[in-house]
Amino acid sequence: MANKRRLFLGITFSLLVILLAGLMVYALYFTKLFVLKEIKVYGNAKVSKEEVLRLLDLKGGEILYRLDLDELRERLKKHHLIEDTILRRQLPSTLEVQIKERSPLAILVQNNKGYLIDRNGVILSEANPNDILYYPYVFIEDEKDKDVFLKFLEWLKQNKKYLPVYENLQKIFLTKDKIVLNTKSNITIFLPLTTTNDLFTLYSYLDRIMTYIYDNHLEDRVELIRLDYPFGRALVKYRNT
């Protein structure tokens, strides 16, 4: 008798759970209890809220849980300044949109014009004269290793502890087999085109050389530093005086 009672209670509880779940799904997806009334936008600086709303193309009154957030995310990413987004439903009637905008990394020179690009090489806008104060000119002569090159530049920008710091680089060239850096103090630096991890290691070697140069006030005398030799070797060339 006790077993039958427990079985009855168990079945009743399961049916109640199913019923409640069904009612919740019905309320969320098929009633007007949770309809879109407000869209909140965060993280945008260059992209206006009006542009975000236009890309979303929502009229208001849509059932909140019927919105396809993945589709809305792809709509927003069509904007050339938006790298990614996070969308959240906030009950009872709000859609929250978190924008991650693309950040400039360098000035890409093409056809004698400069364009701000991000870490993925996406062109953001035409460069202004003041941009050279913050970003180096980049010349890409061979596209084959462009991804490695851009990842290296992003690492340089983020790692301020290594010399020369990113802001002291004036021009950077990607050739078929080398990366060539020109500093604002007119030092030319050659790095071999290799893996990103090897480039990080080589730049740490370069940091030691640059530290020695600055500690001994030799920056005006150094013309060239070459690290495109067998690993661990370098050449420092001084200017003729």
- What pLDDT score was predicted for residue 10? 56
One-character DSSP codes across 169-235? EEEEEE-SSEEEEEETTS-EEEEE---HHHHHHHHHHHHHHHHHHHHTT-TTTEEEEE--SSTT--E
Distance CA 170, CA 183 (A): 5
**Residue range 132-138: mean pLDDT, rounded:** 95
* Residues whose CB is less than 8 angstroms from the CB of residue 56 and which lie 6 or more positions away in sequence, other chains included: 39, 72, 75, 76, 97
Q: What is the mean pLDDT of residues 67-94?
A: 95
Average pLDDT over every residue of 149-159? 96
The per-residue pLDDT for 23 is 47
Name residue 83's amino acid.
E
Q: Crossing angle, helix 196-215 and helix 146-158, to 10 degrees? A: 40
pTM confidence score: 0.81
The Cα angle at residue 220 between residues 218 and 221, in degrees rounded to 5: 65
Residue 37 CA to its chain's centroid (Å): 31
Q: Which helix (H) or strand (E) holds 82?
A: strand 82-90
- Using the predicted structure, report yes or no on whether residue 22 has a pLDDT greater than 60: no
Q: Omega of the bond prior to 164 within 30 degrees of 0, cis?
A: yes
Report the chain's mean pLDDT, rounded to a whole number: 89
Q: How confident is the model over 57-71, as pLDDT tens digits? A: 999 889 898 899 999
Element spanning 157, H or E: helix 146-158
Q: Which amino acid appears at position 170 of this protein?
A: Q
pLDDT value at position 199? 95
What whole-number percentage of the chain has pLDDT above 90?
A: 76
Q: Which domains does the chain have, with CATH numbers?
A: 38-101 (3.10.20.310), 106-238 (3.40.50.11690)
**88-97, 209-218, 227-236: which has the minimum mean pLDDT?**
227-236
